[in-house]
């Protein structure tokens, strides 16, 4: 069944009104937040699909939202419901089950960085040949990517999720477990209105950055930011 031993997992929430991108409010309405979330997720998945170098799975929450996920991102994707309590437990469970299924290198990313492309993903898998842990840090003290070559439950313990302490605490957990870490390029994921505005300024109306195509995101930003 496994065609490659590299697995890319995209952690995503179902596009349910009031349930996504709440930190963008009140600058954006719930409907505008949902529109942007759907657009960014669609661009991300379309850019990362169809690589011979890894298998892609979408691990989604809540677990009963498969119909909404398929309507959003297509029937052809591989969908797995997330399992566990907080974010750390859910990521650990995804890693653990992936390794149990025979994958040798597993990378998990979120859905808040529509400009993330295959090159960064392939770099992460490549670095896992040398390092047991790969992290992609974000400007706000979190990370947009984590890669492992075996389950490491200690990495996810005592982490204050959704705070600026996520990366420092994860790095401390790695040090405590004697795990060396490779850090990828730091990036800004799209969580706040300031980050939305910065992305719009960076794009300047273009639908691509390098070889990353984000037409859905640009269309949503035009509708939201130029509606006045």
Q: State the average pLDDT over residues 72-94.
A: 96
Give the model's confidence band at 4: pLDDT under 50 very low, under 70 low, under 90 confident, else very high. Answer: confident
Q: What secondary structure letter does DSSP report for 138?
A: B
Give residue-wise pLDDT tens across range 144-187. Answer: 999 999 999 999 999 999 899 999 999 999 999 999 999 999 99
Residue 24 has pLDDT above 90, yes or no: no
Domains, the chain, in order of start with CATH, read 6-225 (3.90.550.10)
How far, in whole angstroms, is CA 187 from its chain's centroid?
12
Contact 101, 136 (CB under 8 A): no
- Bridge partner list, 136: 145
Q: What is the mean pLDDT of residues 33-44?
A: 95
What is the model's pLDDT at position 89?
Answer: 96
> pLDDT tens digit string along 123-155?
999 999 999 999 999 999 999 999 999 999 999
Calpha distance 63→200 (Å, rounded): 33
pLDDT of residue 225: 85
9 near 107, Cβ under 8 Å? yes
Residue 1 has what pLDDT? 46
Mean pLDDT over residues 65-93, rounded? 96
């Amino acid at each position: 069944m496994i065609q490659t031993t590299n697995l890319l997992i995209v952690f995503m929430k179902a596009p349910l009104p009031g349930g996504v991108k709440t930190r963008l409010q009140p600058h954006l309405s719930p409907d505008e937040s949902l529109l942007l979330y759907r657009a960014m997720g669609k661009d991300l998945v379309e850019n990362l699909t169809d690589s011979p170098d890894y298998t892609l799975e979408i691990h989604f929450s809540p677990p009963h939202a498969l119909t909404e996920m398929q309507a959003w991102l297509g029937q052809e994707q591989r969908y797995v419901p997330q399992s566990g309590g907080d974010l750390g437990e859910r990521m650990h469970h995804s890693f653990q089950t992936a390794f149990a299924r025979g994958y040798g290198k597993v990378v998990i990313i979120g859905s808040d960085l529509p400009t993330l492309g295959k090159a960064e993903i392939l770099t992460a898998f490549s670095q896992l040949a040398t390092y047991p842990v790969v992290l992609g840090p974000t400007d706000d003290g979190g990370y947009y990517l984590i890669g492992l070559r075996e389950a490491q439950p200690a990495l996810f313990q005592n982490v204050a999720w959704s705070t600026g302490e996520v990366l420092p605490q994860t790095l401390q957990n790695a040090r405590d477990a004697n795990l060396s870490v490779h850090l990828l390029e730091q990036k800004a994921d799209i969580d706040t209105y300031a980050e939305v505005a910065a992305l719009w300024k960076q794009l300047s109306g273009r639908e691509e950055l390098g070889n990353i195509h984000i037409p859905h995101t640009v269309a949503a930003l035009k509708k939201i930011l130029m509606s006045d």
